[in-house]
Every structure is written in C-alpha cells, then in structure tokens.
C-alpha cells in the first residue's frame, strides 16, 4: 500500500501525476539553483521526486534519486537525523519496487534498528518502520519471519497511531496477505473484510489504498473458494487502477494476473491462460524478466496450464520460472520451494513419475529444513506429494 506517504494530491489520474512530477522536477532544479545541491529544500524536493517516481512505476529512476538523497543526508545531516532515517527507508522501498529483495530487507532492517535507537520503540515513525520491514519480508517470501513482526506492528500501530490511521490500514493489509499465503484462509478473509471496510470508511474517494484493499479482499475470497466474489473484487480494482495509474503501471498489470488466476480457478481455462500470458509479457516488458512480480505471474501461468491439462506447457513454463525463483529468492525460500513443488506436480501429470518423485523429495526436505517437520505447510506438502 501507499499509505500516508502518497506523493500526489487527490484526485489522481495519469495526467495529474505527470503534471505533478514535472512540478517536482522544476522544484528540484530551482532548489539547486537557489540553495545548492546540499540545501534543505533540495533534500525535500529530491525526496518528493523519488517517491513520485516510485509511485508511477519509474522504479529505476526512484532508486537513483533516493540513493543520491541518502548519500547527501548522511554527509550533511549525519546518520541519526530524522531526514536521514526517512531517506534510508525511501531507498529501501525503491529497492523493493525494482526487485532488489535482499538489499530491501537489509535496508529495512537497518532503518528499523536506527529508528528504535534514535527515536525509541514506540515512536510513530518506528512503528511504521517495523511494518515496512514486515512488508519487505512478505514480498521476499519470508512469511514465517514476517508474521510475528507484522502482528506486533499492527498492535503497536493501533495503539500509537489509531485503528484508522493509513499506516495501520497498510499493516492490516500486509498481515491479511500473510495469513492467506500461510493457508489461514478464514483469518485472512476476516482481516481483509475489516480492512476493506475501514479503507472505504476513512479514505477519500479515489485513494489508491482503498483500491488495494479490494484487491486483497479478492485474494482472500479466492483462497476460501469464493472465486466469483474474488474475481468481482479484482475487476473493480482493475478498473480503478487503470483509471488512476494507467494500463502499464505494475499494480494494474498485477491485477490482471489476479483476474487470470481467478478465471483459471473457476475452470475458464482459455480465458485464464490468455489473461496470464499477456500479463506476464507486460510485466516482463515493464519490470524485467527477473523481477519478483514477473516471476509470480509466470508461476501463475504455469499453474493455469496445469489446470487445463496442458502438461507440457506447464512443465516448460514452471521449469524456467523455478530456476529464476532460485536466483532471485534463494534456494530455500518459500516461493522457490512452492515453485518447485508445482513443477513436480506438472512432471507427474506429464507422466514423468521418477523426475516428479525426486523433485518432491527435494522440496519436502527443503520445507523440513526451513520450517521444521511439523509445520502445517510441511505436513500439507508431505500429504499432497505422497
């Protein structure tokens, strides 16, 4: 979610965002002319421009701007200044957006440690930093680490910031995602409904966070088997993302992945595969082949091929996606293990029993090693692969 750090005024549209970014760039040039590259107005203008670039999907530009801003903040203001703390967090968010997961997690960890040391554990900015680290861990597939961190962050955020503060809403969103990913579908749906209702109640019309809340609710519905309801939420979110952010924004394209996955779940195989193929191609064009969002879309496409009994296509897509997941997420990451398990199932469906069995054993060993033999995910995988 964008939460309270939204860089643009409402209402939002691609045209209004382009105008405001142009203004941010003019402000930056003016600040440099009047005060020099190290002035306070320059730091503020650079921060706004970096956040705006990230928001509109210009993630590589955002990284460059925030790297420069952090460097200047450290040199001019010192490591413990509040602007330096904010600049470090901004850079970590941009690393996350561009797919540099390890750098993002390390950056968020450093940011949280610095906030706790300088401002204290209960400072509002520290509470937000704790939630931000949880979000980075979710994107990186480290759900086991993310859950307790987000549970604490949500409790702290409700106490310090209030139930309906935008950053509290963002934390609740992330925790609902973790519950859905971990198979706690009833809890995920309950939290997602509460979150969507709060967003609709407290956020102004056209706020991107409210749109994101409906996407999360769609995921929760689909995880509980209410596929039609889930697709309806995703369609509504897609229409708003297209209006707010444009057709090529990563969030817009990712919503098409959700819709394609929903079609596949509902047995509408041709529609699901067509939507997922296009979305995967679009994400690769916009973000690159190795970006986590692109990989997730490829995995979704492979699963859709499997549901349609197109085993050879499923194996081809999942084999490539699994190899890329290992490079991006790491060999024992939950996303990588899930990708390999799905590939093993595709091998079995294609009649390649020995290869499937060998891969199933490797995946099970990975779950036992990383989660333990009695973790619900390990037990579920063991039962499914027998």
| Averaged pLDDT for residues 32-43 | 88
- Cα 382 to the chain's mean position, in Å? 28
pLDDT at 2 over 60: no
pTM of the shown model = 0.91
186-221 tens-digit pLDDT: 999 999 999 999 999 988 877 888 999 999 999 999
How far from 27 is each of 30, 68, 206, CA to CA, in Å? 5, 16, 26
How far from 62 is each of 69, 130, 289, 300, CA to CA, in Å? 10, 22, 19, 28
How many angstroms separate the CA atoms of 275 and 277, rounded? Answer: 6
- Residues 115, 119, 125, 126, Cα dihedral to 10°: 50
Give the per-residue pLDDT at 384: 80
How far from 306 is each of 6, 16, 139, 324, 362, CA to CA, in Å? 40, 42, 25, 19, 21
Residue 247 corresponds to which tokens in the numbers above?
């057709």
pLDDT at 4 over 80: no
346-362 tens-digit pLDDT: 999 999 999 999 999 99
304-343 tens-digit pLDDT: 999 999 999 999 999 999 999 999 999 999 999 999 999 9
């Amino acid at each position: 979610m964008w939460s309270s750090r939204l860089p643009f005024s409402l209402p939002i549209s691609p045209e209004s965002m382009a105008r405001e970014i142009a203004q941010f760039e003019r402000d930056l040039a003016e600040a440099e002319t009047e005060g020099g590259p190290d002035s306070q107005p320059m730091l503020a203008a650079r921060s706004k421009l970096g956040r705006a670039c990230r928001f509109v999907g210009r993630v590589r530009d955002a990284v460059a701007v925030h790297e420069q801003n952090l460097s200047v903040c450290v040199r001019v203001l010192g490591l413990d200044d509040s602007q330096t703390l904010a600049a470090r967090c901004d850079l970590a968010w941009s690393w996350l957006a561009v797919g540099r997961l390890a750098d993002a997690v390390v950056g968020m960890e450093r940011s949280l440690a610095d906030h706790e040391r300088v401002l204290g554990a209960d400072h509002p900015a520290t509470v937000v930093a704790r939630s931000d680290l949880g979000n980075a861990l979710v994107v990186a597939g480290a759900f086991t680490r993310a859950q307790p961190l987000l549970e604490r962050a949500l409790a702290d955020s409700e106490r310090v910031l209030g139930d309906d503060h935008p950053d509290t809403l963002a934390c609740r969103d992330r925790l609902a995602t973790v519950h859905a990913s971990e198979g706690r579908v009833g809890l995920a749906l309950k939290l997602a409904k509460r979150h969507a209702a709060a967003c609709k109640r407290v956020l102004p019309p056209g706020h991107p966070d409210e749109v994101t809340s409906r996407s999360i609710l769609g995921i929760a519905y689909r995880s509980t088997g209410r596929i039609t309801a889930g697709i309806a939420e995703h369609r509504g979110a897609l229409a708003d993302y297209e209006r707010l952010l444009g057709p090529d924004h990563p969030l817009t394209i990712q919503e098409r992945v959700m819709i394609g996955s929903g079609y596949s779940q509902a047995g509408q195989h041709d529609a699901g595969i067509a939507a997922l193929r296009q979305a995967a191609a679009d994400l690769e064009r916009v973000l690159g082949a190795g970006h986590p969002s692109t990989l997730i879309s490829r995995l979704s496409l492979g699963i859709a091929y499997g549901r349609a009994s197109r085993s050879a296509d499923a194996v081809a897509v999942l084999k490539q996606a699994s190899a890329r997941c290992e490079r991006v997420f790491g060999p024992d990451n939950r996303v990588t293990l899930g990708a390999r398990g799905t590939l093993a199932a595709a091998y079995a469906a294609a009649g390649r029993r020995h290869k499937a069995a060998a891969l199933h054993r490797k995946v099970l060993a990975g779950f036992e090693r990383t989660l333990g033999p009695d973790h619900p995910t390990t037990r579920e995988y063991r039962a499914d692969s027998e």
